[in-house]
Amino acid sequence: MIDGQSAGKSFAYILGVYLGDGCITRPKNRPTISYVFRLEVFDEDFAIATEKALDELECKVYFRKSYRTRYKQGYSFVVETRDKELTEALRKDTRCKEIIPSYVYKWNKENKIAFISGVMDSEGFVSKRTKPLANGLPSFMMGIKMDYNILKQFKPILQSVGIKTGKFTMTKPKWVTNIQTANLTINIPSWIEAGGYFHIQRKKSRVEQYINNTNLNDYMPDMQVKAC
C-alpha cells in the first residue's frame, strides 16, 4: 500500500499532476474495469516526465500519441495506468481532488518541490509581459490558475519552501463544472532560489530567459542557461 507520508519524489510529482491536469476515471457500465489514472496534454515533455515518475513507482504505464482536432497541433499525448494501489491512494488521500493531503505539509523540501512541480507543470504559467524592461528586454510574470479550493491550500506549501506569492485574484468559474478558480502570482527570484523547476520546456525557457535578462545566474549554478 502506498504510504503518502513516506513516499518519495515520484509519488509527490504524480500527486501534484493529479491535482492539476490529471484525472482518475472508471468506464461507465463496466464494473470489472479498474480505475484509470490518466493525463492528456499537448506537451510531450510533460507526458514523458509523468511516464517516468509512474515507472519509478513500478506502475504499468501506457503512453500514446492521440490525434485530436481540438488541439491546435492536431494531437496530444496520453499517459495512463490502471495501478490499483496508486489510484486508490490518490482518490482516498485527496477525497477525489477536494483536498491536499495533510502529510504533504510535513514532507521534506525535496518532496514538496517535486509536488509543486507537478502542480505547476499542470496549472502554472510563465508569461511575457506587454511592457518590457527599461533596457528593452522582455519581462516575465509567473503564476498559477486553478480551483480556488486547492489553490488556497497550495499557497502555504509554496511559502514553506521559500517561494513568495502575491494575493489571490478570483476569476470566472469554469463554465462546465462551475468550479471557482483563482490566479496567484509567484515571485520568480524566490522560485529560482528555492529550487523550483518545470519539466515543460516552453515554461522552463521563459524562466531561463528571465535569468539571462536580470543577471540571476548565481541562483542556478548547476543549470545550463540559454536564451530562447
- In tens, the pLDDT along 51-76 reads 999 999 999 999 999 987 777 888 99
Confidence at residue 222, expressed as pLDDT on a 0 to 100 scale: 38
Element (H, E) at 176: none
Q: Write down the mean pLDDT value for the chain.
A: 89
Mean pLDDT for the stretch of residues 18-30: 88
| d(C-alpha 65, C-alpha 46), whole Å | 13
Q: For the domain made up of 9-117, give the CATH fold.
A: Endonuclease I-creI (3.10.28)
Bridge-based pairing of strands 181-186 and 165-170 is antiparallel
Closest CA to 198 of 124, 141, 117: 117
Domain 120-219 -> CATH class: alpha beta
Confidence at residue 216, expressed as pLDDT on a 0 to 100 scale: 54
Helix (H, G, I), strand (E, B) or coil at 125: strand
Which residues on neighbouring strands pair with residue 37, listed in sequence order?
Answer: 24, 81
CB burial of 194-219 (b: ≥16 within 10 Å; e: otherwise) equals bbbbbbbeebbebbbbbbebbebeeb
| d(C-alpha 95, C-alpha 79), whole Å | 22
Query: Strand (E) positions, 139-228?
Result: 140-147, 165-170, 181-186
3-state helix, strand, coil in the chain (%, to 5): 40, 20, 40
Domain ranges of the chain: 9-117, 120-219
Whole-structure pTM value: 0.89
